[in-house]
Amino acid sequence: MRKNYQKKSFGTCGKILLVIFAILVVAAAVQAESYQTLYPCLIDLSGWTGGEPTGMNMNMSGMVMINSTRTYSKGNKELTAIIMKGNQAFGMGGMQGGGMQGSGMHMESPEVNMNIKTINGFQVHTVYDKEENSGAVTVFLTHEQAGGAFFTLSYAGISEKEALGLAKKFDWKKIKSKAQSLR
């Protein structure tokens, strides 16, 4: 009789563990959906080989971040497209309130070009390292304190002008809409 009790006990315990496991899997799938929602925004670029998108969700002590990333290559040229939403995105856009808001800022040195301009209604920051022939184009999509969002295209091996042209191939309005839909 004792053996029979152990079987029933293990069976019930096993079922409970299975239910807990199923709940955790569903919770992880719901959590994973956030960054995966942004994958369709990381488009294929004609003439470039795009890697598989990756991403992550993070929620730690009130700090929330969702990001999706995709890398591209073409010979020795490289691109990395990043969509980020969360508290950090707001912090990175914080320069806007500090006297750098709007468009028309240009700084040039022998090493670097930096610009802030408005393109298609979005504030765009560009940085180009002349010596390295690399840089980044950052498009600020939303500026909410609890969940700002931006799109960045970092690049190496191409000109500043070509990088801006490639960044414009991404649908910034669609990215903004998808980012705003994430919670």
Cα–Cα nearest to 135, from 127, 147, 144, 123: 127
Per-residue pLDDT of the chain (183 residues; tens, 9 = 90+): 444 444 444 455 455 554 554 444 444 444 445 888 999 999 999 999 999 999 988 877 767 788 899 999 999 999 999 999 886 554 444 444 333 455 688 899 999 999 999 999 999 999 999 999 999 999 999 876 546 899 999 999 999 999 999 999 999 999 999 888 876
> pTM for the whole thing?
0.75
Contacts of 164 (CB under 8 A, 6+ apart): 124, 126, 137
Please, are residues 179 and 38 in contact by the beta-carbon 8 Å criterion?
yes
Write down the domain spans for the chain. 37-181
Please, are residues 164 and 126 in contact by the beta-carbon 8 Å criterion?
yes
